[in-house]
Amino acid sequence: MTKSSLQVARAEYKPKLPAALIGNILVKEGAPTQSCAHQEEISKMFPHTYGFPVLHIESGSKPLKSSAINVGVILSGGQAPGGHNVIAGIFDGLKAMNSDSRLYGFLGGPSGLVNGEYIELTAQLIEEYRNTGGFDIIGSGRTKLEEQSQFDKGLENCRKIGINAIVVIGGDDSNTNACVLAEYYKSINAAVQVIGCPKTIDGDLKNEMIETSFGFDTACKVYSELIGNIERDALSAKKYWHFIKLMGRSASHITLECVLQTHPNYAIISEEVHEKRLTMNQIVEDIARVIKTRSDNNENFGVCLIPEGLIEFVPEIKILISEINDLLAHKAALFNVLETDDEKFQFVNSHISADSTKAFNSLPKEIQLQLLMDRDPHGNVQVSRIQTEELLIEMVEEKLKEWKAEGRYKGNFTALPNFFGYEGRCAAPSNFDANYTYALGYVAAVIIGAGKTGYMSSVRNLTAPAKEWIACGVPITMMMNIEKRHGHLKPVIQKALVKLDGKPFKEFAKNRAEWSMKTSYVFPGPIQYFGPNEVCDAATKTLQLERS
């Protein structure tokens, strides 16, 4: 493949490592840990991996050496900038401990482990991918690893290849599965370690020990650049309202971060919708109110940000989706033979509650069909395929028409829909993500070298310069609680939603009235890879505020 000039220059970038990972390394065990909730239940479910100590990785007095280890790496779920650098970090970390160690990549996500599809990740191959975006070195997939038969097949494949450790690079669900896999292998003395790495642009895998998931920084910077460009266009032309949906399947961290970077006129945060139990009609009225007030000031333009997960947080639609989920899960055979849209709508309407029927029939046909589309392998509605931005434009238009007829609104409303998601997931990692991911991979190798299993690689103190970052291994069970997922109680890593009493949301809440009326746009411009530190290396506003 032909390389762009930036790719060639970027390949030379040497990610900065925390000082503790350079030279002699010491792995120190802290005190035993507990899960963040439901300690009794979780400890019973994970008898072999529960309560492990945090591993503190510090500068030591002698080099960390290991026997030759063969490691298999899996990229799981949605792409996130920096995945290739995690792999480079694992590779360099393993080789630093023993030059005979080898790294393999399972192809196409977790299914590669089960089906025994893999390649060796050689120095030469990895060289081609350093500091690049994407997961294309081995590909990713969303196969759920949860059945014992899958674990057994995976083990058989590891034994055939001679693999002693697996690194799962994934989000909360994939790391939950990594923990279950670690527990199972330990319980049968399989001698295969399992380590996780926190990945997802959604930013919802974070807690006391994980300050952010990788990819969030770069993706938000890409979206903010695009939003800033649109804001400037809106300000120049003064004739459009831009409704921009942003990725983030459940939590609204991406939307909130982009709000803080670009100061749009309106933004919805799903967690607030949930907390205040706002109906679709209330959301629409509030957007229309801002449009009207701006229009009264002769400003018939603006920018409105919408998190893609919104639809699942609106109370009446949340109930509707859960009823449709149950219906599609339990009566799939009957539903799948229906041919026409009308047959499908009739079938749904005759199986859901009266309130949900009302909510379903209030939606335009396209959205109704989108709600009936296939679920992902984890049973989630594929919210990135639901055109919430179009839905809101249509509903706001209707509301403004009503107000016009009543003489309350005199402006012009022309809206354009946008969706930013895939534009950011494979961008070349920012300096922050390039450094962070390389360090996460290196830490994963050190944890493997220390002979541990059931841990997640963790790098903290992320608003400080990279050399001051703190490296550790965190027992995955420490992040677990019990949640109801698709009708069953399951041990899962707690998903971090936007906290309404957290500093990032409060910053938005403090300024939103002003940002909606005065045009206070900020234009962040494209990610810079070369130049002054304050331009190139800054962490997200979310991280800066959370750690301030």
What is the smallest separation between the CB atom of 267 and ligand FBP, expressed in angstroms? 17
Considering the complex, state which of residue 35 and residue 175 has its C-beta at the smaller distance from ligand FBP.
175
Considering the complex, state which of residue 186 and residue 425 has its C-beta at the smaller distance from ligand FBP.
425
Q: Which pair of structure tokens corresponds to residue 166? A: 């697996």
The DSSP element (H or E) to which 509 belongs, if any, is helix 503-517
- DSSP reduced 3-state for 236: helix
Q: Which pair of structure tokens corresponds to residue 323? A: 């009823």
Considering the complex, state which of residue 172 and residue 231 has its C-beta at the smaller distance from ligand FBP.
172
Whether 233 sits among the annotated catalytic residues: the reply is no
Beta-strand ranges (E) seen in 135-192 are 165-170
The region that residue 164 occupies, defined by phi over 0 for left and psi between -120 and 50 for alpha, beta otherwise, is alpha
Instruction: Select which of 202, 204, 217, 433 is catalytic.
Output: 202
What is the smallest separation between the CB atom of 337 and ligand FBP, expressed in angstroms? 26
Considering the complex, state which of residue 302 and residue 441 has its C-beta at the smaller distance from ligand FBP.
441
Burial of 300 (0-12, 13-18, 19+ CB in 10 A): middle
Contacts of 414 (CB under 8 A, 6+ apart): 239, 240, 241, 300
Question: Under the rule (CB under 6 A), what is the footprint of ligand FBP?
Answer: 77-78, 80, 142, 171, 200-202, 247-249, 308, 382-384, 425
Q: Which pair of structure tokens corresponds to residue 185? A: 């292998």
The DSSP element (H or E) to which 10 belongs, if any, is helix 5-11
Question: Which stretches of 297-419 are DSSP H helices?
Answer: 315-330, 332-336, 341-349, 354-361, 365-371, 388-405
What is the smallest separation between the CB atom of 250 and ligand FBP, expressed in angstroms? 8
Considering the complex, state which of residue 278 and residue 386 has its C-beta at the smaller distance from ligand FBP.
386
What is the smallest separation between the CB atom of 481 and ligand FBP, expressed in angstroms? 18
Contacts of 55 (CB under 8 A, 6+ apart): 27, 28, 29, 30, 447, 450, 452, 455, 472, 473, 474
Considering the complex, state which of residue 49 and residue 252 has its C-beta at the smaller distance from ligand FBP.
252
Considering the complex, state which of residue 144 and residue 249 has its C-beta at the smaller distance from ligand FBP.
249
Q: 173 near 133, Cβ under 8 Å?
A: no
Kindly list the distances between the CA atom of residue 14 and the CA atoms of 11, 88, 472, in Å, as whole numbers in the listed order: 8, 11, 22
What is the smallest separation between the CB atom of 213 and ligand FBP, expressed in angstroms? 8
Report the helix count and the strand count for the chain, using DSSP H and E: 22, 15
Q: Which pair of structure tokens corresponds to residue 370? A: 């989108």
What is the smallest separation between the CB atom of 249 and ligand FBP, expressed in angstroms? 4
Length of the chain: 548
Q: 214 near 169, Cβ under 8 Å?
A: no
The CA-based diameter of the chain, rounded to the nearest angstrom, is 79
What is the smallest separation between the CB atom of 247 and ligand FBP, expressed in angstroms? 4
CA atoms within 13 A of residue 331's CA, in its CB half-sphere = 15
Which residues are catalytically annotated? Answer: 202
